[in-house]
Amino acid sequence: MPGFELFGASERKHVNDVIETGILMRYGFDGPRKGIWKAKELEAAICDTFGAQYAQLVSSGTAALTTALSALGVGYGDEVIMPSFTFVASFEAVLSVGAVPVLVDVDDTLTLDPVAVRAAITPQTKCIMPVHMCGSMADLEALQSICKEHKLLLLEDACQSIGAKFNGKYLGTIGDAGTFSFDFVKTITCAEGGVVLTNHKDVYTTSDGYSDHGHDHLGVDRGADLHPFIGYNYRISELHAAVGLAQVQRLPEFLAIQHKNHSALKAILSQVPEISFRRIPDPAGDSCTFLSWFLPTAEITEAVVAELKAQNILAGNFYWYNNNWHYIRKWDHLKQSITLNALHPDLKAAVIHHATKDFSASDAIMSRVISSAISLLWTEEQIKERGEKIVAAVKKVLAAQTATA
């Protein structure tokens, strides 16, 4: 899955360009940097690669979400509808701007259930934030329709689905804004980094300033910049941008390998009638970073996970239902609204309310799914071995279930 698996000469070359100048900061120091502007180059490459009009690099995917929410004007009193299956950064970003994360159920796409989204809309709803989990997409056609009907913002958290498409357009470029994460285990990596994508100039301009202490970046002297509003320090460094510049140029290579390995593993698992697969709204657009597959019941799934662990082949196969980082079931810190900085009592009460709702519909999905990460380094023999071991584990559990029925 991640680009860190295939570091090479290109990454080293771009990093060395920066080291030779000694200018690691993305802004200022125009003379000493000798024309080396890796962050600017990467932003241009991102726009060219993904078809967005504007891209603003930041220090992480979390910073990208926080910046995008602020640039879109989401804040105090606003509600942001988001899925119960995501990474903790999604609700952290919403809370960081003073808004309320309204978590709702996912469906068999492993993303926002449009029916649950409709049911969650209130007069305070300002934004719908689908999270395109595990390389694939939410039902954007339905979500776009809901946003249009209710005049809501659509912010795509595409941090886990770089390179995936919906109806021919890259995820992250379809809504009012979108975000990527370039952390160490994403499809392409900067080691740490993120980006806000948008086709709206005002969203870009405010993202640009917000991520750099409110600088307007309109002059040639950084010290003389004006500050139209208060911002924060979410800057990316030139070193991180240099790694990303090499990686974005290799995206077609990475995606091609993922598609090949994904297809090979899926063909093996498809031999088991009891295994079904995630529903993908646009199958041609899947980036294939994961193969997500379902078993008939939660009991069978838990038994298969235990068998994979017993055979030492669980690594790379994720059972999100028991995962601390990605599913509402284990987010006790959110359910209790435990923060180091005191929240307004009304916000704290709202957080607790939405985090402790009934998510049985999500449980019915997440308790039966296992996601197998797709490596770029697998050989055909390794895929065959891995797939056959998973199939054998599943068949062993199914046989035991039948024997005890």
Alpha-carbon torsion angle 70, 71, 74, 80, nearest 10: -90
CB-based burial label for 77 (10 Å; 0-12, 13-18, 19+):
middle
DSSP code of 185? T
Phi and psi, residue 33, nearest 5°? -80, -10
DSSP code of 322? G
* Spatial separation of the C-alpha atoms in residues 220 and 142, rounded to whole Å: 45
396 noted as active-site residue? no
* Spatial separation of the C-alpha atoms in residues 401 and 395, rounded to whole Å: 10
Q: What is the DSSP string of 286-322?
A: ---SEEEEE-S-HHHHHHHHHHHHHTT--TTEE-GGG
Q: Kindly name the residue from 186, 260, 335, 395 that is annotated as catalytic.
A: 186
User: Residue 153 has which token pair?
Assistant: 């913002």
Answer positive or negative: Cα dihedral of 48, 182, 9, 18: positive
Is residue 402 helix, strand or coil? helix
| Catalytic annotation, residues | 186
